[in-house]
Structure 1
Amino acid sequence: MRTEKTLNRPVGRISREDAHYWTLAPAAVGEIISGLESLAQTGAYGPDGLLQGLSAKRERSVVPRVIRQAIDSRAGAVTIKAVGVVGGVLTLAGKKQRTLQIAGAGLMLASSGISKYRTSFGRDGADHMASLICGYRVLTAVIPDPGTSDDVFLRAVNAQTLLSYLTAGTSKAISSTWRSGEALEQILQTQQYGDSAAAKALKKYPGLCRALTWFTVAWEVGFPVVYTMNPRNVRKVMAGVKLFHLGIAVTMGLPRFFWGFSSAHAAVLYTVDRLPRHGGAA
């Protein structure tokens, strides 16, 4: 039986439960991809590999050396990544189980944190965003009331998203390379990011590269405008942002990039839906 509160909910408004799940689920997919990638190339985590452990080489650490050596080993790396994969699976499987989602976020955060302690190589902005989201989820889980806990979590992720996009856009805006429109073309000239079929095709059109460079700066700096828009239009904008991230992922060969930042979008929609002019608190 529908309650009065349900009947009065604006059409298309994202519920707290759905926002909670869809803020964690994409991050979980990214973590699973990352874990499977690592488990498929364990040689890179050996003593002579690119992603070899470096924690045992620290001159000062509160962590006993024997533990750091275990973390740095290939077996340690495999275990750490496996924990992250398990966390991702638990999160995805717990769509209707809040506790399971939080437990999964905790495992993903632990895997990410220990991996970073082991070595800082092999991580990008999307990994950091996913880690922050899981961190906010674990931190806000200590709030006794589930509704308040989830609300604070989602609003924290929304604030982080706003800060991340605005900071990224501002840093680009003060860069002469980005202002000149040359940044994207230069990025695609590197071996790491310019080897995909999409990158090779894009490099043939310098004018398009310049336009995309300026467009990136413009939308990141202008991201705060979404909080003044009609919620339906915000959904269209966020869909466009997802396509932008997907384009970067495909062009630069970054399969996790799309998932890490997409995780934050449900929290943005949740917050926009609850702005006073759009119907107030849930």
Structure 2
Amino acid sequence: MAYAASGAIKLMSPVWRDGSAITGIFRTRTYGGEGLYRLLNLHPAIPRIVAWSVVLGELTFPLVLVAPKPVARGILGMGVLFHLSIGRFMGLNRFFWAFTATCPAVAYVSRSLRS
């Protein structure tokens, strides 16, 4: 549910809807890099696509609990890729390990709810 709440908050934010939040994040020394920032600044469609992908991914993630098994696996897979990207591009490697460690528990609850 935390993902859905985060997605809902982002959906209400104009900087997430127009993609400037992504460019702003990658402009920082802590979470970004000069080369990546320049790329995003040159191609404004990329941060907009990334921002909307994050918002929609977070809003729909709770469906993993009730979706048919192949869809649930796809949603979990997208979550793994999302956190792998955060680890790679933002340097937050613990996000990847913390998220993937919960995947078996999410899959178990999902199976239980579908039964």
The TM tier, using the shorter chain, reads 0.7 to 0.9
TM-score normalised by the chain length of structure 1? 0.37
1:158 paired residue number: none
- Which structure: larger Rg? 1
Deviation of the 1:190 alpha carbon: 1.0
Deviation of the 1:242 alpha carbon: 0.2
Deviation of the 1:206 alpha carbon: 2.1
TM-score normalised by the chain length of structure 2? 0.85
1:227 paired residue number: 65
- Matched length: 114
1:268 paired residue number: 106
SS at match of 1:263: helix
1:173 aligns with 2:1: no
RMSD over equivalenced CA pairs, Å: 1.9
Which residue, out of 246, 254, 262, partners 2:92? 254
Deviation of the 1:228 alpha carbon: 3.0
1:201/1:245 Cα in 2 relative to 1: closer, same or farther (>3 Å)?
farther
Higher helix share: 2
CA distance in 2, matches of 1:264, 1:196: 33
* Structure 2: stretches of 5+ with no match in the other structure: none
Q: Is 1:187–1:193's contact at 8 Å kept on the other side of the alignment? A: yes
1:188 aligns with 2:11: no
* Structure 1: stretches of 5+ with no match in the other structure: 1-162
1:213 aligns with 2:51: yes
- Residue deviations 1:128-173 (CA, integer Å, cap 9, x gap): xxxxxxxxxxxxxxxxxxxxxxxxxxxxxxxxxxx22112111211
Deviation of the 1:200 alpha carbon: 4.7
1:238 aligns with 2:56: no
Q: Is 1:202–1:209's contact at 8 Å kept on the other side of the alignment? A: no
